Amino acid sequence: MMPFRPSAAAFLLLLAASPALAETIYVTNEKDNTVSVIDGASLTLTDTIKVGRRPRDLMFNADKSLIFVCVGDDDRIDVIDTATNKVSGRLPSGPDPERFVLGPDGKTIYIANENDAAVSILDVPNRKVVGEIQVGVEPEGMALSPDGKTLITTSETTSMAHFIDTDARKVVANVLVDTRPRVAQFTRDGKLAWVSSEVGGTVAVIDTAAHKIVKKIAFKIPGVPKEALQPVGIRLTAEGKRAYVALGPANHVAEIDAATFEVVKYHLVGQRVWGLAFSPDESRLYTTNGVSSDISVIDLQKGKVIKSLGVGKMPWGVVAKP
């Protein structure tokens, strides 16, 4: 008997009918001091992890065996073992950690200390803060260039993006942006950085060599007041063609052509969208919606929200792993 070989059309149908993404999604819940664990295949809540007070930003270590969580009201970082979904350790952070970024060596974490107008440098293996860089008032956004040589932190009160030389551990340039900058993201080639300004209602695209703004992106949604258009979270696709910006109480995510800087679509999501994360294959975008206490799942191929899922109170940050 000849072996069965499906036609190309049948093969595509089989792919379309294949199981959903086998991944795990983690969400910090700022008001109930937990991290929600979600199965990507079924899009169901599978676990809840108790952490310290006021968890906000979270990120994986290099091999995704651990999750680091900023717990701002306890002035520390909690460490979650992804194999057990248990807190396995604690790290110092400096006062009121909000956002952070992992260095390319996998051993250094740069932390924005909101109440201290400083960036702390944490030596992870030695569990010790080994340096501090003074920046503007209320630092929050943190981004590291692909080569690890330039760190950006945004200062909410000073309305600046501070460019820091990581070798010299000092600020080398300050770029004035619009009011209350929240998030920074480098492009994959490191030539540009995108910075969101929540109260200013814009995203500044900065030439990282010249330290000059080359474009300001504004937003307009029919029926939504201008003051509700408050950009916070930013995610850029790996190939650099698309950018996504969470617009806070406007309850939408803007999809932007990263070459022309033009908004091509607005995605309606939950209330007060804040954090964003791609699925590992970038076929989905996950959003944290603080007021509605849920996440939205946007299927980027279909161009629509396919699921809303309740999590804890005031979800803030989100990450996903295979």
Does the residue 83 lie in any domain? no
3-state secondary structure of 223: coil
Kindly report the CA angle at 22 between 20 and 27, in degrees rounded to 5?
A: 105
Q: In sequence order, what are the residues at sequence separation of 6 or more whose Cβ sits closer than 8 angstroms to the Cβ of residue 234?
A: 183, 184, 185, 194, 196, 203, 243, 244, 245, 246, 276
119 neighbors 139 (Cβ within 8 angstroms): yes
Element (H, E) at 16: helix 8-16
Q: How many domains does the chain have?
A: 2
Name the domain boundary from 215, 232, 248: 215
Provide the b/e sequence for 194-223 (b: ≥16 CB within 10 Å). Answer: bbbbbbbbbbbbbebeeeebeebbebebee
Same structural domain, 193 and 160: yes
pLDDT at 13: 42
The answer to whether 247 touches 231, Cβ cutoff 8 Å, is: yes
Pair (233, 315) in one structural domain: yes
- Same-domain check for residues 236 and 164: no
Q: Of 215, 246, 275, which marks where a domain is finished?
A: 215
Distance CA 112, CA 93 (A): 9
CA distances from 256 to 56, 92, 246, 269, 294 (A): 26, 37, 11, 16, 24
Inside any domain, residue 252: yes
CA atoms within 13 A of residue 25's CA, in its CB half-sphere: 30
DSSP 277: E
Residue 62: the pLDDT is: 95
From 190, 215, 240, give the residue that closes a domain.
215
Residue 14's pLDDT is 38
318 and 235 in a common domain: yes
Task: Output DSSP code: residue 2.
Answer: P
For residues 240 and 315, membership in a common domain is answered with yes
Which pLDDT does position 104 carry in this prediction? 95
Q: Which amino acid is at 61?
A: N
Nearest to 298 by CA among 260, 234, 253, 257: 253
Q: What pTM value is reported for the model?
A: 0.93
Rounded Cα distance, 57 and 203, in Å: 20
- One DSSP character per residue, 151-163 reads EEEEETTTTEEEE
Segments forming the whole domain that contains residue 170:
135-215
Residues 185 and 232 in one domain: no
pLDDT at 11: 38
Per-residue pLDDT of the chain in tens (322 residues, 90 and over written 9): 334 344 444 434 433 443 457 899 999 999 999 999 999 999 999 999 999 999 999 999 999 999 999 999 999 999 999 999 999 999 999 999 999 999 999 999 999 999 999 999 999 999 999 999 999 999 999 999 999 999 999 999 999 999 999 999 999 999 999 999 999 999 999 999 999 999 999 999 999 999 999 999 999 999 999 999 999 999 999 999 999 999 999 999 999 999 999 999 999 999 999 999 999 999 999 999 999 999 999 999 999 999 999 999 999 999 999 9
Q: Are strands 86-92 and 76-81 parallel, antiparallel or unpaired?
A: antiparallel
pLDDT in the model for residue 20? 58
State the Cα–Cα distance between residues 293 and 199, nearest whole angstrom.
22
Q: Are 191 and 239 within one domain?
A: no
In the chain, how long is the greatest CA-to-CA distance? 75
